[in-house]
């Protein structure tokens, strides 16, 4: 199936939320798309700047994800996540990615607005959907540091000044949590959804319990980004295989159950968000 745009996927996911899952290996991408086919739900394959660094370049994994998406019967988009480098965005778009996230949250507010507006203009000239991030003004740890919160009025101002198509907001989640104990501010989500004229994105969703994610969608959160939970499931499956058979050396023997574990986790979230 041809790649689907993020706005089309958001519409297809309603009244539920759109699940967006980060890809590090081919097994991630294959499992996420297989889960989308099984659950009959739209899905986003996300490639982060950290993954591009890990893989010593974004081109091979991007081209693989684009092909996996194209070969699937599911509605799939491929998205560049948490890019702090304009050069990486330019490369991703040149490869065929039509949705990117520019993360200027570590900048002070004025610099974030200026940088985001410039990249947004460049993306819109090429028909590329762009997401940005806003949280604690000047927060050194970014918008998703514990305790950071997005101000609704400032978010409205930010969207108007930059022209972005979606906004990642800080409402109580935090990146890379291994426990699902984050408590979201649903009142704040509701206020943001009522004021901000573009879809809201929740990063750090792996640390939010199931009921918290459902409540977030009910209060107006649109796109739900999940990464760490998949990595935990993958690593657990691999560790179990290698522990059970210390002589195991064929990666296919442990990556196959790892891929199945990722698929099961994605299916869980897709049904949860429906």
Q: Which residues are catalytic?
A: 81
Q: How many residues appear in the chain?
A: 274
- Give 15's contacts (C-beta < 8 A, 6+ positions apart): none
| Tokens 């409540």 sit on residue | 215
DSSP β-bridge partners for residue 201: 168, 223
Contact between residue 141 and residue 148 where contact means Cβ atoms under 8 Å apart: yes
| CA–CA dist 200, 191 (Å, integer) | 11
Helix, strand, or coil here: 52? helix
Tokens of 146: 């514990």
Q: How far is CA 195 from CA 17, 46, 109, 144, 183, in A?
A: 19, 27, 19, 20, 22
């Amino acid at each position: 199936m041809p790649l689907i745009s993020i706005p089309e996927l958001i519409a297809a996911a309603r009244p539920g939320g759109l699940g967006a899952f980060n890809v590090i290996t081919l097994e991630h991408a294959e499992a996420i798309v297989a889960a989308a086919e099984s659950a009959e739900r739209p899905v986003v394959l996300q490639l982060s700047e950290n993954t591009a660094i890990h893989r010593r370049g974004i081109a091979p994994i991007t081209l693989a994800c684009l092909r996996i998406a194209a070969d699937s019967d599911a509605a799939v988009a491929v998205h560049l996540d948490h890019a702090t480098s304009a050069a990486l965005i330019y490369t991703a778009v040149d490869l065929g990615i039509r949705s990117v996230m520019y993360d200027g949250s570590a900048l002070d507010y004025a610099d974030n607005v200026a940088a985001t507006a410039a990249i947004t203009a460049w993306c819109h000239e090429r028909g590329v959907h762009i997401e940005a991030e806003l949280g604690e003004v000047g927060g050194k740890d970014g918008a998703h540091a514990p305790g950071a919160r997005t101000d609704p009025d400032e978010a409205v101002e930010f969207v108007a000044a930059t022209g972005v198509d979606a906004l990642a907001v800080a409402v109580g989640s935090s990146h890379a949590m291994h426990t699902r104990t984050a408590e979201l501010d649903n009142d704040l989500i509701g206020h943001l959804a009522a004021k901000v004229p573009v879809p809201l994105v929740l990063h750090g969703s792996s640390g939010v319990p199931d009921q918290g994610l459902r409540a977030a969608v009910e209060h107006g959160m649109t796109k739900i980004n999940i990464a760490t939970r998949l990595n935990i499931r993958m690593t657990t499956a691999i560790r179990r295989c290698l522990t059970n058979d210390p002589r195991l050396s064929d990666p296919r023997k442990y990556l196959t159950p790892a891929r199945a574990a990722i698929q099961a986790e994605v299916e869980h979230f897709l049904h949860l968000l429906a």
